[in-house]
Amino acid sequence: MADYRTLDAIDANGKTALVRVDLNVPMQDGKVSDFTRIERISGTIRELTEKGATVVLLSHFGRPKGQVVPEMSLAPVAKAMAAHLNMSVAFADDCTGDIATQAIANTDRGNIILLENVRFYPGEEKNDTNFAKSLATLGDFFVNDAFSCSHRAHASTEAITKELPAFAGRNMEAELTALEKALGAPKRPVMAIVGGAKISSKLDLLFNLVEKVDSLVIGGGMANTFLNAKGINVGASLCEHDLAGTASEILEKAEKIGCEVLLQDDAVLAKEFKADAPNRAAVVNDIAADEMMLDIGPKSAALLKDKLKVCKTLIWNGPLGAFEISPFGVGTFSLAKEAARLTRESDLISVAGGGDTVAALAKAGVSSDFTYISTAGGAFLEWMEGKELPGVKALSV
């Protein structure tokens, strides 16, 4: 992993810190409904204010496509953030120009101000140099604490690093450290669990992981395509039949390299995709034409838990079944609880990421027991795919 400068290298006293954060938080009835991303950046904010810096926060919210969309203003987020962190957070109605400059000038040293949505300007997503320069005039140095936004080369994540000294915030540092432990130089054996509906969205990930891990568990709807590639009739299950050949390529590559691919031997079957639908557990060779696989079966769950016991590192992206609908989350939850137990009681390093995965672990009640849970979606996936993230690369020294 490339070297990058952290907050340890900053003399922040009396200076203005321009900090890119990810406040693209979920809202319900005009109020923030999940404070995870706000809590993750609090360490960087508090450290900089305690060092005597004025903290100017940059973020996007939604997809306004370079236009001012009042419903996508960050003003409600500033209020929620102030209340949740018990800190004073001012708000500026613009992220550049005279309004932003004056608002920052009116902010006392050691305080915080959140600027308006950077995506209200088309220059943000175009990685426009002039827009980056206008942002850079607002601070003395730049801190990127938004790993979740760093897979995009945007003005507030990439171009701005050419205008100001750039550093990694504590949240960014934690993400990079956790991912390096999981994929860069992991303790072996390494198991990866990849689930979700379709393999078409995770082809790069699967091809990369078979080169990096010792065992690869494929679950969820995507497992059906692999079972189909092995000649198993998957009934009415979700299946990308046109990708059976690609699935076979992944299996062949894994076998050649020596990566063990684990697919379910049994599954929980139902004829209807709804809560508490009549269901049965059966081996995958015994699926009727009108039945769907909606979860891994009990025998497969037990086998995976046994396999997990000998692992030193676990990387998890995607659920093993339709966990949102009872009772089809049993397999995902049981494996999650076992991973949590091994993390607590032994030396398992467990790293998870992706929206559905985070939701599943929360529903299983084990979020706090994993070594690290990434709040990043696309950035987490692209890192696991072995791709270089522009916002991270820009911090390299």
CB atoms within 10 A of CB 368: 10
355 is catalytic: yes
Rg (CA), the chain: 23
CA-nearest of 357, 343, 334 to 311 is 343
Cβ atoms of 391 and 149 within 8 Å: the answer is yes
Query: Catalytic pick from 37, 40, 119, 202?
Result: 37
Active site residue: 62, 66, 378, 386, which one? 378
Whether the CB-CB separation of 288 and 188 falls below 8 Å is answered with no
124 in Cβ contact with 66 (< 8 Å)? yes
Active site residue 378: yes
Catalytic residue among 355, 377, 387, 393: 355
**One of 15, 79, 198, 387 is an active-site residue; which one?**
198
Asked if residue 26 has a cis previous peptide bond (ω within 30° of 0), the answer is no
14 is catalytic: no
DSSP 3-state of 96: coil
Gap between the Cα atoms of 132 and 335, Å rounded: 45
180-183 contacts, C-beta under 8 A, 24 or more apart: 180/1, 181/313, 181/349, 181/351, 181/371, 182/313, 182/315, 182/349, 182/351, 183/212, 183/315, 183/383, 183/384
Active site amino acids: 37, 198, 355, 378
